[in-house]
Structure 1
Amino acid sequence: MSLLGIDIGTTNLKVGLFNRDGNLIDVRTAPNRVYYDKHSFPYYEPAVLVESVIGLIKELQEQSTHEIETIGITSMAESGLLVNQETGEYISPILPWFDRRTNKIADQLRLEIDEIDRFKKTGIKHSYKHGLAKILWLKEAGYQIKKGVKWLSTADLIAFHLTKVVATDYTLAARTYVYRIDTKEWDESFIQKCGLDKELFPEVKASYEPVGEVSEGFDDYGIKEGTPVIVAGHDHVCAALAVGVVTPQVVLDSIGTAETLVGSVAERTITEEDYRSGLNFGVHVLPNRLFWMGAIQSSGGSIEWLRNLLADDKLSYDRLLYLLEGVDHQPTGILYFPYITGSGVPMPDTDVNGAFIGLKASHSKEDVIKAVLEGLSYEFEWMRNTVEKILSTKLDQITSVGGGTKNRHWMQLKSNVSNCPITIPEINEATLMGAAMLAGLAKGIYQDEADMLDVIDQIKKEEIQPNSSLYKKYKNVYQNGYLKLQDPIRQIYTNNE
């Protein structure tokens, strides 16, 4: 038996087969092509996306002897489109999460809402990214939102194509900004206030519940009629599940251009303090939990910026790692504030800029490289400490995934600064695996949640341990330097407005 995971990402589409033990059997990838209209607004072409995903499944199955038992679909969060449920017609293109055509409408909406009240209901802050702003833009642009038309995320779109059923999951429904995570229902009064109808939005199911079964006509693609399909939900939360980040003490640290932290907490009321933290919250893919999420905007981005800065032909990763080999293990004495694209949790600020403080003529290229990694580690520690305070729980287990984990110097620094062990799972396709395993849970391939988590716990891991003596030195720099200079740095830009 095999479990199929489908991941609709910003830049790539992936399908992967897994066995019951979570081992990857095979995977296929294709680019998720972005188009641009005459106004230079980005969009995805829904027919192209669907055909690409189905084609990848066919290609995968042509080389496989494994029968697909169940299908789980995960995706980027806020990208979506309008679809006619009755005819299957695509009413609009897919508007990506990063599409800023909705800025004006989002700004207008901000004047009409109580942002803190909306946050307490939805778990997310008002943004141009969310489904509501996209729907209002499409309506204003003349797209017909008639009876039978539904708003679907990209994961919902693939599920609809396979099953002819319109449905979504809790994690993606909330990214519309009109779904209440406190009551698990569409906010009908707010939807009407926005001039829309509740019927525009799909049925909502848990991420481990089938939305439907594969309809006829897919045998040639290696998918049997009647195969259960789930919308597994938000890609980051699926990835967190795949590496076992499902208890309050453990945090997923996913390191790419941005660095995203994801954790879980028992279901509870969302508060104004949560709003002030800058974190986002949502219903978890497993029962009786919420997930929380925060980001360091320019984590891997800081390293890319530095690589371009330090060499005419971009400093190679191998050269960067070689230079770090010769650096002293002690703190550099340089403070780097990684705000080259603004700051996120715990003090969101789009206007603040990055900074180096403490540079000396004696400092080398190697010291500056290490200082960037130290600054990113301090920022991570600040977020971790903030979340501990808000959630009243100890976050002392860090699981890291993503390209940044290849830099073991960085991982060791982060462990030393936080005084926490860092676990690096030996897994290449965490998001796909999380979607596939949720599908296995829905199908009954796993007896229950505990059975599935026991399988996940068997994944091979590497563990990096902190150096306690270096932790004390870094703690002093962090508390007496990095934190104390936060307000002065931000005041520079506030005072210059």
Structure 2
Amino acid sequence: MASALLLGVDIGTTLTKVGLIDVGGREISHAVTPTPWNRETTGATIDPETLFRAVVSCATAALAHVPEGSVLGVGVTSMAETAVLVDAHGAPVGPAVAWYDTRARDEFARMKSELLDTRVARTTGLNTSQIPTGPTVRWLRDHLSASRDARACTSVSDWIVHRLGGEWACELSLASRTGLLDVRAGEWWPDALEWCGLDFDYMPPLRHAGSSYGRVREDLEGLERLGGATLTTAGHDHLCGSVGVGVNRSSQVMDSCGTAEALVRAVPTGTLDDLGEGHHLGVEVGWHVIPDHYALLGGLSLGLNLIPVLETLGVESRDGRTPLDAPALVLATEHEDEAAVLHESVRSLRDQINLDRWFTEHHGEPPEELWWRVMQTAVTSSHDLLDGLEKLGGPVTQVVASGGWSKNPLLRYLKSRVFPPLTYPLVEEAGIRGSALLSGLAGGAFSHVEDFPDPPFEIVEPHRASHSPTDPSSPRKPI
């Protein structure tokens, strides 16, 4: 008899992915398509209906590889900040703007000035560095005639769930990235909505990830097999991905090492007295996809800064690995007991490195030594951020690392020297797995996120560069 299946959708900046797992958490199939952006000078926009068609096409391809088994649930996760504007009838008006788009920079400055910077930070939990949704909504209403009829907005994930047949709603972790949510109250912030021109009465009701949004329509061409499956929005992709790799306890931290590095931690909602208290540590606060928990989220530039270094050195990377790793690893082990020699210009990779100046000052040093210095700096920055997460939420007993750069042997070794025990999940698509599992929560396959099956993983022991494969049933399984 075929196993019951769960389908996950992960709408990312570069790629949109759809896949299926069984209720035991085993990944079965997935399909990928480019996220269909329209590139513009300030960033990019996307047409909501074009995105929906891309999701349907990708889901059809993923289902084609799995001929048997009923689909119990469908979960959708996505990037944050990007939102779909709708009119009084719920129809989309105008494009959705990419989270990294800078067109609303001036509007963001006005929002912080007119609503008060400290008030925005303490109400929304955001560090006011990344442009949230609200200022972009204001820009669209002021500059695009198609968007002037907008009365409400919702996340990309919630829009896709709604188009699949789900109820009109907005998930809390994604709402937390809009700048329009009073995070502590768990309600829309009327002053911010008024400032950007939206109507409180038309805004969607707020829901937790993993709650039921209804069922998939029976009449969707190509997706008839999904008809009747329980729908849920699986929240912000970083947070959903952390659940997908088994990070569902407050003592754990997810370290996502990709183009950007994100450290994510769940803490009970009563932990913080002031939502802005972590901002000087580089940590923002919002709702997590885990019920009754906030997400502590800190971001760093990792790949964005490492790639220019490699280009200057004339070295290529592949799957997070480079030819400089092995000789740099020898240097790192030889200097294990010495403090890293770090130049002030690269003390932190939170900002773009001044490469010309740095390479001039270190002219003549072997490439592997330069690479070791830069990677040590990256580790120092992420360790500083981890310290901030501990100051806010208490001791961290385990860090679970994923993403392309987490495969780098030098980075693994350097982190093993200063981090708590490092675990590397053997998961192909964390966002798909997380969104699928959350759909199982919505559909009754699980009672709580703690019931989710852990993935297999491998451990890097502290102070060692080697790692050993571990089965999820092993007695060494982290707690």
TM-score by length of 1: 0.84
Residues 129-185 of structure 1: CA deviation (Å, up to 9, x unaligned): 211111111111144667884312111121111115321110011222111110111
CA distance in 2, matches of 1:234, 1:382: 24
The structure-2 alpha-carbon separation of the partners of 1:10 and 1:336, relative to structure 1 and needing over 3 Å to count, comes to: farther
The root-mean-square deviation of aligned C-alpha atoms, in Å, is 2.7
The structure-2 alpha-carbon separation of the partners of 1:33 and 1:307, relative to structure 1 and needing over 3 Å to count, comes to: same
The structure-2 alpha-carbon separation of the partners of 1:339 and 1:324, relative to structure 1 and needing over 3 Å to count, comes to: closer
Residues 414-455 of structure 1: CA deviation (Å, up to 9, x unaligned): 11133x221111111111111110110111111333322xx1
Q: Which residue pairs with 2:205 in the alignment? A: 203
TM-score by length of 2: 0.87
The structure-2 alpha-carbon separation of the partners of 1:410 and 1:421, relative to structure 1 and needing over 3 Å to count, comes to: same
Residue 341 of structure 2 is aligned with which of 334, 338, 359? 334
| Partner amino acid, structure 2, of 1:2 | L
Q: Which residue pairs with 2:429 in the alignment? A: 429
Residue 283 of structure 2 is aligned with which of 279, 282, 286? 279
Q: Which residue pairs with 1:405 in the alignment? A: 406
Q: Which residue pairs with 1:323 in the alignment? A: 327
The structure-2 alpha-carbon separation of the partners of 1:146 and 1:223, relative to structure 1 and needing over 3 Å to count, comes to: farther
- Match of 1:416, SS? helix
Q: Are 1:116 and 1:275, in contact at CA under 8 Å, matched by a contact in 2?
A: no
CA distance in 2, matches of 1:219, 1:243: 32
- Match of 1:98, SS? coil
Residue 162 of structure 1 is aligned with which of 142, 164, 189? 164
Q: Are 1:253 and 1:398, in contact at CA under 8 Å, matched by a contact in 2?
A: yes
| Deviating more after overlay: 431-440 vs 370-379 | 370-379
Per the TM alignment, residue 230 of structure 1 is displaced from its structure 2 partner at its CA by 0.4
| Partner amino acid, structure 2, of 1:286 | I
Residue 19 of structure 1 is aligned with which of 17, 22, 25? 22
> In the alignment, is residue 75 of structure 1 matched against residue 78 of structure 2?
yes
- Match of 1:61, SS? helix
Q: Are 1:263 and 1:291, in contact at CA under 8 Å, matched by a contact in 2?
A: yes
| Partner amino acid, structure 2, of 1:198 | F
Per the TM alignment, residue 462 of structure 1 is displaced from its structure 2 partner at its CA by 1.0
CA distance in 2, matches of 1:352, 1:306: 9
Q: Which residue pairs with 2:300 in the alignment? A: 296
The structure-2 alpha-carbon separation of the partners of 1:307 and 1:402, relative to structure 1 and needing over 3 Å to count, comes to: same
| Partner amino acid, structure 2, of 1:446 | F
Q: Are 1:215 and 1:226, in contact at CA under 8 Å, matched by a contact in 2?
A: yes
Residues 380-408 of structure 1: CA deviation (Å, up to 9, x unaligned): 221122222233x1123111001112112
| Partner amino acid, structure 2, of 1:462 | E
- Match of 1:111, SS? helix
CA distance in 2, matches of 1:222, 1:284: 32
- Match of 1:296, SS? strand
Structure 2: 5+ residue stretches without partners: 465-479
Q: Which residue pairs with 1:415 in the alignment? A: 416
How many matched pairs? 452
CA distance in 1, matches of 2:310, 2:463: 28
CA distance in 2, matches of 1:97, 1:362: 40
Residue 185 of structure 2 is aligned with which of 183, 186, 200? 183
Per the TM alignment, residue 220 of structure 1 is displaced from its structure 2 partner at its CA by 3.6
The structure-2 alpha-carbon separation of the partners of 1:218 and 1:368, relative to structure 1 and needing over 3 Å to count, comes to: same
- Match of 1:241, SS? helix
Q: Which residue pairs with 2:274 in the alignment? A: 270
Q: Which residue pairs with 1:307 in the alignment? A: 310
Q: Which residue pairs with 2:390 in the alignment? A: 388
The structure-2 alpha-carbon separation of the partners of 1:430 and 1:132, relative to structure 1 and needing over 3 Å to count, comes to: same
Q: Which residue pairs with 1:125 in the alignment? A: 127
Q: Which residue pairs with 1:112 in the alignment? A: 114
- Match of 1:273, SS? coil
Q: Are 1:283 and 1:291, in contact at CA under 8 Å, matched by a contact in 2?
A: yes
The structure-2 alpha-carbon separation of the partners of 1:7 and 1:359, relative to structure 1 and needing over 3 Å to count, comes to: same
| Partner amino acid, structure 2, of 1:414 | K
Residues 105-136 of structure 1: CA deviation (Å, up to 9, x unaligned): 11222211222222222111335621111111
> In the alignment, is residue 446 of structure 1 matched against residue 450 of structure 2?
no
Residue 466 of structure 1 is aligned with which of 451, 454, 462? 462
CA distance in 1, matches of 2:345, 2:388: 17
| Deviating more after overlay: 24-33 vs 62-71 | 62-71
CA distance in 1, matches of 2:196, 2:304: 37
Following superposition of structure 1 onto structure 2, how do residues 225-236 of structure 1 map, counting pairs within 5 Å? Answer: 225-236=227-238
- Match of 1:82, SS? strand
Higher RCO (CA 8 Å, separation ≥ 6 residues): 2
Following superposition of structure 1 onto structure 2, how do residues 6-155 of structure 1 map, counting pairs within 5 Å? Answer: 6-36=9-39, 42-64=44-66, 65-84=68-87, 86=89, 89-127=91-129, 129-143=131-145, 149-155=151-157
Q: Are 1:335 and 1:371, in contact at CA under 8 Å, matched by a contact in 2?
A: yes
